[in-house]
Amino acid sequence: MRVFCISGAQVQAGLALPEQLPEQGYVWIACSREAFLAELGVIQNTLEKLTGQTLVDLHVSDLLNAQLPSRFDYSSHYDLMVFRRLAQRPDSAAASPAALTNNGLAPQGGKRSGPPVLHRIDTSPVGFAVFDRVLLSVHPADCAVREAYASRLLASTQAHDATDPRSTSARGVPHNPADMMLRIVSHMVDGYLDLRRELSRQLDHWQAELLHPRTRFNRWDALLHARMALHQLEALCDDQHTAMQSWTESLDSWRVAEDGTAEREHELLKIRSRDVLEHIDRVVQHVRRLEHNTETAVQMHFNVQGNRTNDIMRTLTALTAIFLPLNLIAGIFGMNFEFIPWLHQASAFWWTLGSMGAIALVMGLVFWRKRYLARTGG
């Protein structure tokens, strides 16, 4: 568990829960799901001291649920956002079977196939309870998103210029808990955007193999799992978009103090919410484009295979047609009759053989001119 007290551009980090709120600013309580379950009573007491309210039991269950899809809910005292992160596991990190099942990108009870980049996508949910002056976030164990943003927050504080009042927003220090939540969510969405190049490269490689005329593609199981994973990512992003859209619409119902600073901060929340929605839309569009390209490559692969089969059958049919009259001549002279023309002449064999060769040559030239024996593939 990590606790941050943000007052203006000053950030104080600690491990103990605060007894009271700072005079100006707010408190960010970031804990893992296991720590939240173990310290639930202490956290509830702290929230009651700081805000006068505690979390509803149903919302506590949502924060503890490791398989909950992205969703938004609210009460009269706080808002609840559950957002499934799109983070990348390190290459050396071996995911447990339970983790592979929980993230929704692998079939249960089986080894994951498909592009290696899909093996490292972690979609565990991150929960946020947004009060007026308190932000409670519940992360998976060893959450890289929390540590990365905490490091950025502390770095922005160290680089803060006290003489410049505008440096708070310029250096990335959020103004309020809602702003903090939106920045963390935006950081999680941007984590998937970084995977686009690698994912596109792997699927482009498979598409090249599918369309190569001399390559026998045998990775159909991996391609099927990749398409299933992309489809599940699309559904996951749709849930994220719905949750963020609900949050954005709820901002219109907020009561904002009639002063320039409060109105500006509220407007910045709307702008940042729309920016997160735009990033999610980019993820959805990219996933759909990959699905479409993969489906198109598979269809083109079978079309190419069909064209190759047609070329082979056309060639075999032409060759069969060339040999049909030759077989007819050979069948006639192979009859067991006593009297057959040319049968007892010395030159009959050569005349018959020459006639058969001439017939085959003429029919071959005719079929070649009609492109029955020509190659259509490049």
Give pLDDT, residue 81: 93
Band the pLDDT of 140: cuts 50, 70, 90. confident
Total residue length of the chain: 378
Taking only the tens place, the pLDDT of each residue in 66-118 is 888 999 999 888 999 999 876 555 444 444 333 434 444 544 444 445 555 56
Q: Considering only 79-83, 286-290, 312-316, 374-378, which range has the smallest mean pLDDT?
A: 374-378
pLDDT for 312-331, tens place per residue? 888 888 888 888 988 888 88
Segment 131-140 mean pLDDT: 91
Of 216 and 310, the one with more pLDDT: 310
Give dist(CA 143, CA 81) in Å, integer: 17
Give percent of the chain above pLDDT 70: 80
In this predicted structure, what is the pLDDT of residue 94? Answer: 40
* Mean pLDDT confidence for 144-157: 78
Domains and CATH numbers, the chain: 314-369 (1.20.58.340)
The mean pLDDT value for 260-282 works out to: 87
Residue 17 has pLDDT above 60, yes or no: yes
Q: Is the pTM of this model over 0.75?
A: no
